[in-house]
Amino acid sequence: MEHSASCRLSFKRPCFRLPAVVPLQTLQQRQQHQQRCGSRACAKKLSSGAADAGFTEEDDPASQQKATEWAALAEGEVEDLEAKGLPDLQGKLNQLCNKGVRIMLGGDLNALGGFKDQLFEYGAVFTKAENKEATMFCYVLFRLAEHQVALAAKDLTGNYKEAYEKMFGMLEDSGWQLKMEGDDAEPDLLDEELMKAPAELFASGY
């Protein structure tokens, strides 16, 4: 992300204070969070570009909850979400799709770019976790944001297929211009990127 030349950093004299006593409750919350996620790293790997999901302070219970939800999805633990008291997969997918529709139809290019970055980061996490369906879902949403219908969309199943079809219908009804992935290329000269599996794309960067 480029920063304008007008950005300025202000430095203040550091204020040295004695460390505060950490309440026992905070330590217990931290331990519970580590047990649920396995380590702090699983929450941190989802933090970049996902402020809207609540990834802020590690010791904030609400932030820990949000990070745990996405970590569970990334690790393929969807079947355990209800047992953990976390939102179901369909609800989470619908939330992401609704956000995408609002941004795509809102006309804010910066917001659209941020949404694509978020999808790409989620896709990279799901790729690393070898969650193929979640990876493919992020990929087809990423293509929708680029006005393209991904060829891989036909392979979606279950909750992912349902969420995608709802989003596709809303975009189509609202006049969002869409074309099939690779339509502008000659059959024998398809963009090399189209020949990659979604996992390969997210692993290689864009």
Distance in angstroms (rounded) separating the CA atoms of residues 33 and 160? 27
Same domain membership, residue 142 and residue 98: yes
Q: What is the arithmetic mean of pLDDT over 7-18?
A: 36
Ramachandran category for residue 61: left, alpha or beta (phi over 0 → left; psi -120 to 50 → alpha): alpha
For the ranges 9-23, 63-77, 82-96, 163-177, the lowest mean pLDDT is seen at 9-23
Range of the domain at 71: 37-87
179: phi then psi, degrees, rounded to nearest 5: -140, 160
Same domain membership, residue 104 and residue 80: no
Q: For position 185, what pLDDT does the model report?
A: 52
Same domain membership, residue 196 and residue 144: yes
Question: Is the pLDDT at 6 greater than 90, yes or no?
Answer: no
Question: Is the pLDDT at 46 greater than 90, yes or no?
Answer: no
Q: How confident is the model at residue 20 (pLDDT cuts 50, 70, 90)?
A: very low
Same domain membership, residue 184 and residue 97: yes
Same domain membership, residue 127 and residue 94: yes
Q: For position 145, what pLDDT does the model report?
A: 93
